[in-house]
Chain A
Amino acid sequence: SLLLLLVSNLLLWQSVTPLPVCPGGAVRCQVTLRDLFDRAVVLSHYIHNLSSEMFSEFDKRYTQGRGFISKALNSCHTSSLATPEDKEQAQQISQKDFLSLIVSILRSWNEPLYHLVTEVRGMQEAPEAILSKAIEIEEQSKRLLEGMELILSQVHPETRENAVYSVWSGLPSLQMADEESRLFAYYNLLHCLRRDSHKIDNYLKLLKCRIVHDNNC
């Protein structure tokens, strides 16, 4: 998994960083929408892989067999966002809304990721694998956000900059003294992260096929 991380990291560095600057500030850049979507899909896939690994490592190490799964149901902070829950719903959403939604989800995760990194770093005997992945996810999320905003501006230039996103208030629970509660808080956070990264990945693939390939991937 580390090797995969390394390789995908390399690929990403090559392909995604940085998003090209349009010469002269022109709206229509030389980079095609197809390339943008390709890069975005690669990023989202990478982020999802990372978060899956991070979650499974955390679960194996700290919370195995505690039955947290039954408790951590639907208590993610991004649940307030109206995300499509299946294919039919996803097909009914408009492109513009879809893109905005993705951007909102990504924005909502900025702060939690930042706090996650700081908290894990501050932990005694900080698990290196989890910490490194958290840092990486935070970094790539920012990039993906930039990419999505760029795509949005290209596909729907008239869209106003909307600041809709979910506020995360789980920081106190991460810092609780009680170990059980604290572990549960982490579990929940990582579980939600995995779920949302999967959502974003799926949505992007849908959008890519819809926008770039006209529903004919």
Chain B
Amino acid sequence: MDLWQLLLTLALAGSSDAFSGREKTQRMQTLIPTGRKKKCSIKKTLRLTLKATAAILSRVSQSLLSVNPGLKTNSSKKPKFTKCRSPELETFSCHWTDAVHHGLKNPGPIQLFYTRRNAQEGTQEWKECPDYVSAGENSCYFNSSFTSIWIPYCIKLTSNGGTVDEKCFSVNQIVQPDPPIALNWTLLNISLTGVHADIQVRWEAPPNADIQKGWMVLEYELQYKEVNETQWKMMDPILSTSVPLYSLRVDKEYEVRVRSKQRKSENYGEFSEVLYVKLPQMSQFTCEEDFYFPWLLIIIFGISGLTVMLFVFLFSKQQRIKMLILPPVPVPKIKGIDPDLLKEGKLEEVNTILAIHDSCKPEFHSDDSWVEFIELDIEDPDEKTEGSDTDRLLSSDHEKSHSNLGVKDGDSGRTSCYEPDMLETDFNASDIHDGTSQVVQPQRLKGEADLLCLDQKNQNNSPYHDACPAIHQPSVIQAEKNKPQPLLTDGAESTHQAAHIQLSNPSSLANIDFYAQVSDITPAGSVVLSPGQKNKAGVSQCDMHPEVSLCQANFIMDNAYFCEADAKKCIPVAPHIKVESHTEPSFNQEDIYITTESLTTTSGRPGTAEHVPGSEMPVPDYTSIHIVQSPQGLILNATALPLPDKEFLSSCGYVSTDQLNKIMP
């Protein structure tokens, strides 16, 4: 009230002010110049608005005061339909909330009116609820006479004559069956351990649902849980009224409940009463039968497996294991000599190894890295007889001899001169055809299988060799014993270089070398041969008929090898060739293969083939190659080289280039 009074007074004051102000303004207007007129008008409007608001306020307050003060605290909740439900498709009932009335005056009873549309009736006729009691408070119950299934109903709730709520539905849509009754369980079986058990739960359909006549078809949902759990376990809906529950623990108590639903509708009915299941305990103690996944075992096995694999992997890196698993393809290697040494050009080691066999002095040799060392296969004499290349040569299988020779035997590293793959590489470019160089040309070799002129088929001088075989055999065998690996060093180099051929004193026939070793290649281009162990002159034991003419013709042919006998007989100076000493091997410029002995014997001879050096001439160990008549051969210098020191001579394996240079002019 005080507020209103205040407002009223303000309003009055404002109005009075306004009035007085108006007079003043009017008076002022005449006197005040135009600039001030605006200010005065603003003031005027403000006052007017104040006045208006005051008036409004007063009116409002008046009206407010007249109003019933109790209206402020009034809040009405309208009654609403909560649920309409038909439990068996024969009757139904509807429920609503009660209205909340705080007012002094009761608005009046709530009424429900319904109508059902029939085809015949077109009018909406609202009828009142037939039964307010049977379904409880705030409900309306429609018995079977009032219920039609597939006919739509509309109901409305009225209060005080006014419609509060309205709803339309069909009875078949509001079906919610009653809960099943008579739940019970029976024990099916208990596991052998006595820890788990199976039970069968049975119940009955709600009695008001007409199952027998098929009016309703129900399906059920079962839920169960342990007593102290909070989550219910649900099973799938079933049509029958009994269901087994498997694997319940004997030591625990369970709760079971069931609810039903009409098959076609969506709404489940209420849950049944809870059934308590307490299983009988057979044994006093319960062992833990729970199966825990053996994580520990798996982890242990996994780690051990991984460890094993790791070790295998690590070991596989080692060469030994690797070799065991994957044995390498045998490469040529010398017994006792590591091929890597040769590659690296470590003279000292190689010489020491060689020294073991030959009591050589390795200190002559310098480290010429450019010099490639030939693999020397120096073996014990009493080693190897059968299966040797020689035998293969001597065998009747001449067609294959070339291939035989090409076959490497074992991994001893000894290969024959005729090894095509060895010789191919470097010699294809070269054109050595003569016999002075020990570098053999593979093409020639391929055609020829017989190192000892024993191969009849491959050589053109076949008739000449017929007589040889038998005699040649021992020498062959002997020669076989010392069979250094020929050549293959710088084939290209050697072809165009003059070769220094080391001549040594001819040894016995038995010492004639089947192969000779190129021990060194001088920078000047000379080939240094090692003194052969065996005298190749042994070959010359065979008596050959000096059919020079034939030989001559033959020499023109590309023959890789000629035995010395052949060469001898083919030398036009026949008598000279037919030297008394059989040990005197001669060589021809056609002769590709020249041993040191042969050179020794024939040293001093001039470059022509006709000249045969006399045997009485001291043959120097070394001589220089005068001409390289490619592809015919080498022509040696007649001049004898100054003999090197004994020391030098005694060197078996290698002659260093420096030493050679001393010798050479």
Contact = CB atoms under 8 A, between A and B. Distances in A.
A206 B213 contact: yes
Given A70-B154, A206-B213, A210-B214, 16 more contacts: A70-B168, A73-B117, A73-B154, A73-B168, A74-B119, A74-B151, A86-B147, A86-B148, A87-B89, A87-B90, A87-B215, A90-B215, A206-B214, A207-B214, A209-B212, A209-B213
B144 A88 contact: yes
Interface in B398-428: none
A74 B153 CA distance: 10
Interface string B128-163: 000000000000000010011111101000000000
Contact of B150 (A52, A83, A88, A215): A83
Q: Chain B interface: which size bin?
A: 20 to 34
Given A52-B264, A70-B154, A79-B119, A205 B217 contact: yes
A216 B212 contact: yes
A145 to B, nearest CB: 20
Contacts of A215: 212-213
Contact of A217 (B117, B144, B170, B213): B213
Contact of B168 (A69, A87, A216): A69
A100 interface: no
Interface string B190-214: 0000000000000000000011111
B24 interface: no
A205 B150 contact: no
B62 interface: no
B384 interface: no
A141 interface: no
A211 B353 CA distance: 114
Contacts of B148: 85-86
A195 interface: yes
Nearest to A195: B150
A83 B149 CA distance: 11
B576 to A, nearest CB: 113
B264 A49 contact: yes
Contacts of A52: 264
A106 to B, nearest CB: 16
Nearest to A196: B150
Interface in A169-183: none
Interface residues of A, number: 33
23 contacts: A48-B264, A52-B264, A69-B168, A69-B169, A70-B166, A70-B168, A73-B117, A85-B149, A85-B151, A86-B90, A87-B213, A90-B215, A91-B213, A198-B150, A198-B264, A199-B150, A205-B215, A206-B213, A215-B212, A216-B212, A217-B211, A217-B212, A217-B213
Nearest to A48: B264
A45 B213 contact: no
A213 B212 CA distance: 9
B43 interface: no
B117 A206 contact: no
Contacts of A48: 264
A-side binding surface: helix, strand, loop or mixed? helix
Interface string B159-190: 00000001011101000000000000000000
A147 to B, nearest CB: 17
Given A87-B210, A88-B144, A45 B263 contact: yes
Contact of B152 (A45, A73, A206, A213): A73
B36 to A, nearest CB: 65
A171 B90 CA distance: 35
B327 to A, nearest CB: 64
Contacts of B154: 70, 73
Interface of A: 45, 48-49, 52, 69-70, 72-74, 79-80, 83, 85-88, 90-91, 195, 198-199, 201-202, 205-210, 213, 215-217
Contacts of A69: 152, 168-169
Contacts of A74: 117-119, 151-152
Nearest to B146: A86
Contacts of A49: 264
A69 B118 CA distance: 15
B156 to A, nearest CB: 11
A199 B211 CA distance: 17
Interface in B602-619: none
With most chain B CB atoms within 10 A of its CB, the pick from A73, A91, A206, A210 is: A73
A195 B152 CA distance: 10
Contact of A86 (B144, B213, B214): B144
B655 to A, nearest CB: 97
A209 B210 CA distance: 11
Contacts of B215: 87, 90, 202, 205-206
Given A80-B119, A87-B90, A209 B147 contact: no
A205 B89 CA distance: 14
**Residue from A49, A87, A198 with most neighbouring chain B CB atoms (10 Å):** A87
B221 to A, nearest CB: 16
A208 B213 CA distance: 9
Interface string B236-272: 0000000000000000000000000001100000000
A83 B115 CA distance: 20
B4 to A, nearest CB: 48
Interface in B204-238: 210-215, 217
- A-B pairs, top 7 by smallest CB distance, nearest first, are A209-B214, A73-B117, A74-B117, A85-B148, A205-B214, A79-B119, A73-B152
Contacts of B89: 87
Interface in B347-386: none
B399 to A, nearest CB: 79
Contacts of B119: 74, 79-80
Nearest to A49: B264
Interface string B549-568: 00000000000000000000
Contacts of A216: 212
Contact of B214 (A83, A85, A199, A208): A208
Given A73-B152, A85-B148, A85-B149, A217 B214 contact: yes
A93 to B, nearest CB: 13
A45 B212 contact: no
Contacts of B149: 85-86, 202
Contacts of A199: 150
A91 B213 CA distance: 9
A181 B168 CA distance: 20
Nearest to B154: A70
A73 B148 CA distance: 13
A124 B38 CA distance: 68
A97 B210 CA distance: 22
A1 to B, nearest CB: 11
